[in-house]
């Protein structure tokens, strides 16, 4: 390990955040609000980043920044949004904030800490040091290995989720007015309308997103290396899904799901535009160790069926900033402060993941029994 080069620290302190996706961006904004100077280390660039749809909470951005949005700022709408819309809104707020720096192509591989600092070392050997390092690096978190070395990995829940998005023009009216939930033959299905690419919420000009939970794809996931042993490695891109699997999805959709969802699936199959996300879960035992802590999916990973990932990451971001500002007033040490963040968040985060795990177990039991029958 090379010795850390400390960035110039403001009195209110410095933080490094590993990962500049939704939870990293929210945490950066909440820490900047209390006067901290933040460096975000992100392994990727911003090109071609996509994700599923999410339920966002109205007013999230205002609560993170403490400021009302200005006329030229993209608003964070409540309700179902694409990952990209939520990301772009948070990222625009981060880019306007002079206390936050985002460093791309910085893949962190090592972490360290001593009495005075914590540091992160990127794969190119660069070392970034600050008062604390926060892991917002998702389900395969590197920071988690240092916070919880005895339980570093999230585990595969046994099923994947097929995900697609279509324009409403690809389906027939009447257009969906809200959420749809269906179960059949051991599968389950969620559908929802989304704003159109231009933000339109007018019926007929929106998009629809769907998620199909499937407990029978072990061979595909293991042959592509998306899951190895009990550990989820990655999401399968649309171009990695073989033609015969697309054909199988189309045939099953015909049998299992009602319109307009069946039409939406056929549209995605025709465009070869479906991704497959293996579900991982992580029940946390710790969220902090010394000057290191975790937020978002790195900290606690529930099945997407809970629809709580974004909300939990938002609550982490606020709780961490609260713990730090309280300790600044009470003169606690940083490790004590991060321990109080852990106390504030651990129980509820654990309950959310465990509730989701009950769903996962029931779902897999049903999926297996339907396959045997
Ligand atoms: C299919 C699906 C559906 C979902 N639906 C919902 C929903 O309806 N409602 C909801 O609230 N939540 C939902 N979620 C969960 C939600 O998407 C996440 O909880 C939320 O996006 C927070 O993610 P994150 O920022 O913690 O992690 P991630 O999005 O995984 O981001 C981690 C970031 O860290 C970077 N990174 C990783 N390792 C390193 C490294 N070593 N060095 C530097 N950078 C690194 C990555 O490139 C990435 O940018 C869903 C998730 C999935 C998969």
Q: How many A from CA of 173 to the centre of ligand 1? A: 33
Atom of ligand 1 nearest to the CA of 296: 26
Q: Which residues pair with 6 in a beta bridge?
A: 129
For residue 355, the model assigns a pLDDT of: 97
User: Over the stretch 223-260, which tens digit does the pLDDT of each residue have?
Assistant: 999 999 999 999 999 999 999 999 999 999 999 999 99
Q: Are 300 and 283 in contact (CB under 8 A)?
A: yes
Listed in sequence order, the DSSP H helices in the chain are 22-33, 60-65, 83-95, 143-147, 218-223, 243-256, 261-270, 296-299, 309-330, 334-372
- Name all residues whose Cβ lies below 6 A of ligand 1: 18-24, 41-44, 51-52, 54-55, 107-108, 136-139, 142, 161, 163, 277, 296-298, 304, 307-311, 313
Tens of pLDDT, residues 122-151: 999 999 999 999 999 999 999 999 999 999
CA 283 to CA 294: how far, in whole Å?
13
pLDDT of residue 277: 96
**What's the CATH code, domain 14-153+282-361?**
3.50.50.60
- Whole-number Å distance, alpha carbon 244 to ligand 1 midpoint, is 29
| Per-residue pLDDT at 78 | 77
Q: Where in the chain is the domain with CATH 3.30.9.60?
A: 158-280
Q: What separation in angstroms does the CA of 39 have from each of 32, 36, 139, 299?
A: 10, 10, 21, 19
Among the listed residues 103, 96, 122, the one whose alpha carbon sits nearest the alpha carbon of residue 4: 122
**CATH 3.50.50.60 residue ranges in the chain?**
14-153+282-361
pLDDT, position 83:
87
Mutation test of ligand 1: which of 16, 28, 52, 315 has the most ligand atoms closer than 8 Å to its C-beta? 52
Q: What is this structure's pTM?
A: 0.93
pLDDT given at position 10? 36
- What is the domain class of 158-280 according to CATH? alpha beta
19: three-class secondary structure by DSSP: coil
Burial 103-123 (b: 16+ CB within 10 A, else e): eeebebebbbbeeebbbbbbe
For the chain, which residues score pLDDT lower than 50? 1-11
């Amino acid at each position: 390990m090379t010795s850390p080069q400390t960035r110039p620290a403001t009195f209110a302190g410095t933080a490094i955040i590993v990962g500049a996706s939704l939870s990293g961006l929210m945490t950066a904004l909440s820490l900047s609000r209390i006067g901290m100077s933040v460096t975000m280390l992100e392994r990727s660039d911003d090109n071609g980043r996509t994700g599923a749809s999410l339920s966002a909470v109205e007013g999230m951005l205002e609560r993170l920044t403490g400021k009302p949005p200005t006329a030229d700022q993209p608003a964070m709408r409540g309700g179902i949004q694409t990952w990209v819309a939520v990301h772009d809104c948070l990222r625009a707020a981060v880019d306007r904030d002079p206390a936050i720096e985002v460093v791309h192509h910085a893949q962190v591989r090592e972490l360290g800490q001593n009495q005075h600092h914590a540091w992160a070392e990127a794969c190119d050997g660069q070392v970034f040091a600050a008062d604390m390092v926060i892991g917002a690096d998702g389900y395969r978190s590197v920071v988690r290995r240092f916070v919880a070395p005895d339980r570093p990995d999230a585990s595969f829940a046994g099923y994947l989720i097929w995900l697609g998005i279509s324009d409403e023009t690809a389906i027939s009216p009447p257009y969906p007015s809200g959420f749809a939930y269906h179960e059949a033959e051991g599968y389950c299905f969620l559908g929802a309308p989304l704003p159109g690419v231009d933000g339109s919420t007018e019926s007929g000009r929106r998009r629809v997103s769907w998620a199909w939970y499937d407990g029978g794809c072990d061979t595909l996931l293991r042959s592509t290396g998306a899951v190895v042993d009990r550990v989820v490695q990655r999401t399968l891109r649309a171009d990695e899904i073989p033609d015969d699997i697309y054909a199988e999805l189309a045939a099953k959709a015909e049998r299992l799901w009602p319109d307009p969802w069946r039409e939406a699936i056929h549209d995605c199959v025709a465009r070869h535009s479906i991704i497959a996300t293996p579900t991982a879960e992580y029940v946390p035992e710790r969220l902090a160790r010394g000057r290191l802590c975790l937020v978002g999916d790195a900290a606690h990973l529930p099945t997407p069926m809970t629809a709580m990932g974004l909300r939990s990451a938002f609550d982490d971001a606020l709780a961490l900033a609260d713990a730090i500002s309280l300790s600044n007033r009470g003169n606690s040490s940083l490790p004590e402060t991060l321990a109080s963040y852990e106390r504030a968040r651990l129980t509820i985060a654990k309950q959310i993941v465990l509730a989701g795990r009950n769903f996962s177990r029931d779902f897999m039991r049903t999926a297996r029994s339907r396959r045997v029958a």
